[in-house]
Amino acid sequence: MFSFVYQDESIPVRPAPIPWVVSDSANLERYVINPLKQVVSNRTGCWLALTAVLFVGGWRLSIIACQPSHWLSIATELGSVGHIESMHPSPDNSALLYDQETETGIGTFFYSMASGHSKLLFEQNEAGYEEWRARTLGWSPDSSLVACTVPANLVPGMRSEEIVLYDGTNGDVTARIPASEYAWNSQFTWLSPHAFVYSSKDQSLAVVEQQSNGTWAESHIYEQPIAGPNWRALTALSPQSVAWQEDRAVWMFDFASSSSSKIWESPTNTTLESFTVTETGDLLLRCSDSQGQLSILFAPSNGNWDPKAVVPSITRNEHGERRAKLSMDHGLYTFTIENGTNSEPTRFVWEGMVEYYNLVGDDLYFTGNRASGLPGIWQYDLNSKVVRCLVPAMKGDLKSTTIVTPLLGTCTNTLENQISYHLWEPVNVSPGKKYPLILGQTHYIWSSYPQIAARDGYYFAAADRITWADNIDNWPEDVLGLYKTLVERPNIDTNRVFLFAFSAEAGDANQVLATRPDICQGLILFVPNGPPFLSQTHLLKTFVVGGMDDDLIRPKWYIDYLEASARIGIPLKLVLQDGVQHIPRSIATERERARQFARFLIEN
């Protein structure tokens, strides 16, 4: 019988045999039930055990209870917005091809303006994704067909590509043309609605034509390289010739004579930025001088391409060229659209974010979002001035949250230049309460991270960049200027400031840490390819996300960084995602990043 009296070593106790096998009910009672009864009857022990469990469990539950409600479901939903990668409107504005993240990879979709519906044409998984193997090559001049390159075989080491022609009205497959010579550096252009040309990796050409019976087949192959390896922008000059840019020169290849010739070369102190072929077959050459001053030259064809005939294009848009230019004016994206006349360009101000844009006829297409909404593909009609969303990036509305609209502001960076920024405030700011701040300078496009930060009680501020590369060199100066402006706000907790950097921005964040180590206590880095920050031992929290298949940063670098950080006492929260490269290419990856980002925020 069990005794409540405390038993010490002076009382002999016979050791119980270990019940390896409970063979019958007697043994079950002897080895399991009786000891359990003894444990249960030790009330002091039970109460203490229960107290310990309740104390620790209660502590943990109180932390969970103090967290923002539904933080994980909000991050999950916001992270599930599939990023639109690119778009290709048809020349007659009847359809659109676009690439968007799917659950497992990148899908290419066909959107019909008439029906308003999208159709998935093909999809490439994120694991092993190679951008050049699945991309839109271009619409035929009459919009009847659109060509894409599609991997015919995804087995590693067994690559084979094919060019697939889709019907321009409904997206059905019209033809599959094996293109075994198609490579990552291949060029493609339509010659006519019934012929196109593509190059192999060594700049040889294959012409594919529609046969009299309707099938498509390679009609001519030019096996000798027609250009150097630095060629780009292959464009049809006529159904019998193509042109391309090679360094400072424009070249052409004539199919009839099978010969290449240089059309024009810019002076040594001038850079040829790009060229286009007008509807009449002439060339417009965009050049910039050593000061970056842009000029447009006009090269009439006249059959012989005389360099002496190249003249500056003096009057505005005299050749009826249509083009759109994106700029940012006081934090607002502004399109300047030249629509083929000499009239004043049309200006269209968009109160939201923009990533890709394309002007086709009288319609401007762009990907982006209103400041208070989700992203999508938008169409702006130059005539009616009406803008409408063609393809929302997410079907339906958000269920667990709403979009936080950023505030627009301007400040001065440390170079004394005025910059614009956007600030996402935490929802339901209390007057006397301090909130942490996340600072960065980023391309002003849709991202779930500012939304998640605002929902989790953080200020998120980003100095604006119009494109990824534009103004990235001013990252440290802009961020320091922004910090100086924002710390004057009474609600910002200057003891909890984080720097937010993506990829190459990590090196700039390191510069900020080097010059002003006192301003920030934590780092949030996505695929950082900058140097490590291990000299900054004052850092308290670091969050790093990387991909195991990153072609720029090897996973070993992350692991070494993690171990080195731990040794000097910087707790590093590292997320390494399997099958993910430098740029995420699936909703699943984006969602998991968003969830881990939210977890980091609420735990800090």
Among 45, 178, 267, 531, binds other proteins (CB under 8 A): 45
Which residue lies nearer to other proteins by CB, 13 or 158? Answer: 13
CB of 75 to other proteins, least distance (A): 13
Q: Enter the tokens of residue 464.
A: 């604006």
Backbone angles phi, psi at 533, to 5 degrees: -115, 30
The three-class DSSP label of residue 266 is: coil
Does residue 38 bind other proteins (CB under 8 A)? yes
Minimum distance from residue 436 beta carbon to other proteins (Å): 14
Candidates 28, 32, 55, 473; binder of other proteins (CB under 8 A) is 55
Residue 217 makes contact with other proteins by CB under 8 A: no
Give the 3-state secondary structure of 365-388. EEEEEECCCCCEEEEEECCCCCEE
Q: Which is nearer to other proteins, 55 or 132 (CB)?
A: 55
Rule CB under 8 A: is residue 68 a binding residue for other proteins?
Answer: no
Q: What is the 8-class DSSP label of residue 449?
A: H
Figure out which of the listed residues 30, 31, 42, 73 binds other proteins, where binding follows CB under 8 A. Answer: 42
Q: Pick between residue 9 and residue 518 the one whose CB is nearest to other proteins.
A: 9
Contacts of 357 (CB under 8 A, 6+ apart): 324, 326, 335, 364, 365, 366, 367
C-alpha distances in Å from residue 536, one per residue of 260, 441, 519, 539, 597: 57, 21, 12, 6, 22
Distance in angstroms (rounded) separating the CA atoms of residues 228 and 585: 32
Name the minimum Å distance from CB 70 to other proteins: 15
Distance CA 21, CA 33 (A): 14
Within 447-553, residue ranges assigned H as helices are 448-455, 475-486, 505-515
CA–CA gap between residue 475 and residue 3 (Å, rounded): 73
Shortest Cβ 50–other proteins spacing (Å)? 9
- Candidates 51, 115, 327, 418; binder of other proteins (CB under 8 A) is 51
Q: Which 409-438 positions form the footprint of other proteins (CB under 8 A)?
A: none
Let me know: does 429 contact 451? Beta carbons within 8 Å: no
Q: Contacting other proteins (CB under 8 A), which of 22, 32, 33, 63?
A: 63
| Span interacting with other proteins, options 44-52, 210-218, 254-262, 299-307, rule CB under 8 A | 44-52
- Applying CB under 8 A, among 33, 49, 469, 514 the residue interacting with other proteins is 49
Q: Choose the binding region for other proteins from 1-9, 187-195, 260-268, 368-376 (rule: CB under 8 A).
A: 1-9
Rg (CA), the chain: 31
Per-position x/- string for 2-31, each x denoting binding to other proteins as judged by CB under 8 A, each - no binding: ----xxxx-x-x------------------
Type of residue found at 599: R
Is residue 485 within 8 Å of 464, Cβ to Cβ? Answer: no
Q: Using CB under 8 A, which of 589, 592, 594, 597 touches other proteins?
A: 592
The half-sphere exposure of 129 on its side-chain side, counting CA atoms within 13 A, is 26
Which of 226, 580, 599, 601: binder of other proteins (CB under 8 A)?
599
Q: Which is nearer to other proteins, 422 or 591 (CB)?
A: 591
CB of 260 to other proteins, least distance (A): 53
Q: Torsion over CA of 317, 320, 322 and 327, rounded to 10 degrees? A: 10
Total chain residues near other proteins (CB under 8 A): 46
Tokens 């230019």 correspond to 325
Both tokens assigned to 515: 């010059």
* Residue 569: CB minimum distance to other proteins, A: 3
Q: Considering only residues 551-580, where is the footprint of other proteins by CB under 8 A?
A: 558-559, 562-563, 565-576
Among 28, 32, 52, 415, binds other proteins (CB under 8 A): 52
CB of 41 to other proteins, least distance (A): 10
Closest by CA to 522, choosing from 582, 465, 470, 453, is: 453
CA pair distance 165, 333, nearest whole angstrom:
35
By CB under 8 A, name the binding residues for other proteins. Answer: 6-9, 11, 13, 38-39, 42, 44-46, 48-49, 51-53, 55-57, 59-60, 63, 537, 540, 558-559, 562-563, 565-576, 592, 596, 599, 603-604
